[in-house]
Structure 1
Amino acid sequence: MLERLRRRWQRARLRDPAWSLLFDEPADEMVSLDCETTSLNAAEAELLSIGAVKLRGNRILHSEALYLLVKPENIPSAGNIAVHGLRRRDLADALSPREAILRLLAFTGGRPLLGYYLEYDVAVLNKYVKPWLGIGLPQRQIELSARYYDYRFRQHPDSHIDLSLDALHRELGVPDLPRHDALNDALSAAMLYQALRKRGFG
């Protein structure tokens, strides 16, 4: 009920009706999403890259993946570059934030968004989306760590549950791709979700 009211409120405030497609959720599809940014503080972070991949049923559609480089206003710090490896010259021909968001929204449509600590990525994206569309991303959000918590709690209700990515990969038997690459991280989240789905927690 609350979710329906939230979506109705958002639809009424959507500035551009061309993007009403963001409210149309296809059956049994979602998009796994990850962003690399200039900071871990969402209030000051700028986008550097976006990775996304579609899931349909029990399949990960690798051929329908999206990877975008985004040009920030401020040059990433040396410490930031050490994490994601994106240097100033790597971003010289990158997309503007608006163009990158346009491509991302066209890619996701109304599909639910899946991610590991997705709230941060959505908060950063919404800094660009809200001034333009008048609303934040309206798609349903699926938090991978919450699904994993439910899975482990069902097994061991009285034990500490480690929600680190290392723990998820280890416990679910999913290969660990090189991290801090937006597309790899989106693919990892997709694979971990499918592993949970096979266990009845998708």
Structure 2
Amino acid sequence: MLRRLYRRWRRGRLREPGYAGLFDEHPHELVSLDCETTSLDVSRAELLSIGAVKLRGNRILHSEALYLLVRPRSEPSGDNIAVHGLRRRDVGLGLAPEEAVRRLLDFIGGRPLIGYYLKYDVAVLDKYVKPLLGAGLPQRRIEISSRYYDYKFKQQPGAYIDLRLACLYRDLAIPAPPRHDALGDALGAAMLYLALRQRGFG
């Protein structure tokens, strides 16, 4: 009851009523989401790319995937480039962050979000979403690492559980994406989610 009231209050504070549908959960679809950024520090991080893909039932809708390059204010550093491979010339022709976020919001709608350490991605996105809408992303969130932890804990209570992404792929027999980019990681998270759901932890 309190959750519904809070959501209604947040919905009423939207600066753009056209986005009220973000609060209406889609009954049959989810969106797996990943972002690449300039820093792991949320306060300094800027978006470099966004990857998202829809899921319906047990199907990943590859044909409805979204991949956006985003033009940051500051250039990616050498260490940062080594992680995601996005250079200045790659993101220089990207979308302005506000335009990229609008496209993402239109793509997501009210669909619940899936991700690996999704809290970080949402925190970075909310830096752009809140000034735009007056509220952060309201969608329900499904954290892959938490679902995997519950799955392993039920098998081996009290045992050490390795939550590194490579370990999840290996243990759930999911092929790791060939490239570390936002869309590849979103697809990987979608496959991990389906694998966990097949084991009763979806």
Q: TM-score range by the shorter chain?
A: over 0.9
- Measure how far apart 1:14 and its partner are: 1.0
> What is residue 3 of structure 2 aligned with on the other side?
3
Tell whether the 8 Å contact from 1:112 to 1:139 is kept in structure 2 after alignment.
yes
Secondary structure of 1:147's counterpart equals helix
> What is residue 182 of structure 1 aligned with on the other side?
182
TM-score by length of 1: 0.97
Secondary structure of 1:136's counterpart equals coil
> What is residue 44 of structure 2 aligned with on the other side?
44
> What is residue 94 of structure 2 aligned with on the other side?
94
Secondary structure of 1:34's counterpart equals strand
Alignment of 1:12-161 (within 5 A): 12-161=12-161
Q: Which residue identity lines up with residue 86 of structure 2 in the other structure?
A: L
Output the CA distance in 1 between the equivalents of 2:107 and 2:30: 11
- Measure how far apart 1:9 and its partner are: 2.4
TM-score by length of 2: 0.97
Q: Which residue identity lines up with residue 30 of structure 1 in the other structure?
A: L
* 1:121-180 alpha-carbon deviations (Å, 9 max, x no partner): 000000000011000001111111011111111111121111111111111110011353
Q: Which runs of 4+ in 1 moved over 3 A?
A: none
Gaps of 5+ in 2: none
Output the CA distance in 2 between the equivalents of 1:31 and 1:89: 29
Secondary structure of 1:110's counterpart equals coil
Output the CA distance in 2 between the equivalents of 1:77 and 1:107: 30
Gaps of 5+ in 1: none
Tell whether the 8 Å contact from 1:113 to 1:140 is kept in structure 2 after alignment.
yes
- Measure how far apart 1:5 and its partner are: 3.1
Secondary structure of 1:27's counterpart equals coil
Instruction: Give the alignment's Cα RMSD to 1 decimal.
Output: 1.0
Q: Which residue identity lines up with residue 143 of structure 2 in the other structure?
A: E
